[in-house]
Amino acid sequence: MTQAEPAVRRQTGKRKAAVAVRTVVQRGPKDKKSVAFSLDWPGWSRGARSAELAVETLESYRQRYQPIAALAGMAREFGAAGPLDIVEEAVGTGSTDFWGISFSPAATEQDPMGQAELERGITLLRACWAFFDDIAARVSPIMRKGPRGGGRDRDTIIGHTIRVESQGFARQVGLLIPEGPALSSDELPSYREDYVAAMRAYNAGEFKRMKSWTLPFLIRHTAFHTLDHAWEMQDKDLSA
């Protein structure tokens, strides 16, 4: 069995066809950029200047996502995943044109979520956080600059990632974190537990429904934002 023929085996030894990766493509309203993302693996999402290139870039990040699946205890499942299968193409928001990101739910991302689906998403989100923390602890404080000398250093990236999530995304499920500096490393674990608890409470119907977001999208977008900046730090690390 080769990597080109991912498969899992039943106890009988027969080969079971690999499950395709359900993939959504969203184009910006002005068609300046597009994004492709997996519905089943939160955070596996990449943007580019065209839909075709976005799908190609998403595939190129398959191995970069593998450590997250491993941290979630899903390495075998991810390793057996089949090819990308585009199940939806839609027009996204202005953020897709500007940033090349998904900023709206896919048609199938509705809530409430089934219990197993919710817990799977939370497990993968926790893995994204763990991966981010590990990268943040190992990279150089000074990051590689762009061709014109621009770019953020490690602590600025960390602060931005935590602040946007805790003071922005978390509000969608009723968790209000006072505006100000990013949460400290001592505060972060407790906040994340509160965020997960708020997601579960929202799914149980304890909070008012979000206007334009849904819980599957919130989990996916939080995971994406975390990984996008973790990979940014990896790519700009000078410690090597």
Q: What are phi and psi of 64, to 5 degrees?
A: -70, -25
- pTM higher than 0.85: yes
Residues 120 and 232 in one domain: yes
Residues 33 and 125 in one domain: no
Tell me if 108 is assigned to some domain.
Answer: no
Share of residues in the chain with pLDDT > 70 (%): 92
Q: Which two tokens stand for residue 122?
A: 């939370």
Residues 137 and 227 in one domain: yes
Residues 125 and 209 in one domain: yes
> Would you call 240 exposed, middle or buried from its count of C-beta atoms within 10 A (0-12, 13-18, 19+)?
exposed
pLDDT of residue 148: 72
User: Could you tell me if 40 and 113 are in contact, meaning their C-beta atoms sit under 8 angstroms apart?
Assistant: no
What is the number of domains present in the chain? 2
H helices of 21-114, in order, are 51-60, 62-71, 75-79, 94-99
pLDDT of residue 5: 37
Residues 119 and 94 in one domain: no
Domain boundary among 74, 99, 124: 99
What 8-state DSSP symbol labels residue 32? S
Cα(158)–Cα(170) distance, rounded to whole angstroms?
17
3-state secondary structure of 59: helix
Domain boundary among 41, 65, 99: 99
Tell me if 31 is assigned to some domain.
Answer: yes
**Pick from 135, 113, 134, 99: which is nearest to 219 by CA?**
113
Domain boundary among 99, 128, 163: 99
Tell me if 32 is assigned to some domain.
Answer: yes
Tell me if 104 is assigned to some domain.
Answer: no
Cα(53)–Cα(190) distance, rounded to whole angstroms?
39
Cα torsion 65, 66, 67, 71: sign: positive
Cα(99)–Cα(106) distance, rounded to whole angstroms?
18
Q: Which two tokens stand for residue 187?
A: 């505060």
pLDDT of residue 4: 38
> Would you call 227 exposed, middle or buried from its count of C-beta atoms within 10 A (0-12, 13-18, 19+)?
buried
> Would you call 30 exposed, middle or buried from its count of C-beta atoms within 10 A (0-12, 13-18, 19+)?
exposed
Residues 209 and 121 in one domain: yes
Tell me if 40 is assigned to some domain.
Answer: yes
Residues 126 and 94 in one domain: no
Residues 149 and 229 in one domain: yes
pLDDT tens for residues 59-108?
999 999 999 999 999 999 999 999 999 999 999 999 999 999 999 999 99
Cα(35)–Cα(28) distance, rounded to whole angstroms?
8
Q: Can you give the residue range of the structural domain that contains 203?
A: 115-236
Residues 75 and 140 in one domain: no
Residues 79 and 32 in one domain: yes
Tell me if 14 is assigned to some domain.
Answer: yes
Q: Which stretches of the chain score pLDDT less than 50?
A: 1-14
Residues 92 and 121 in one domain: no
pLDDT of residue 150: 76
Residues 210 and 150 in one domain: yes
Tell me if 62 is assigned to some domain.
Answer: yes
Tell me if 1 is assigned to some domain.
Answer: no
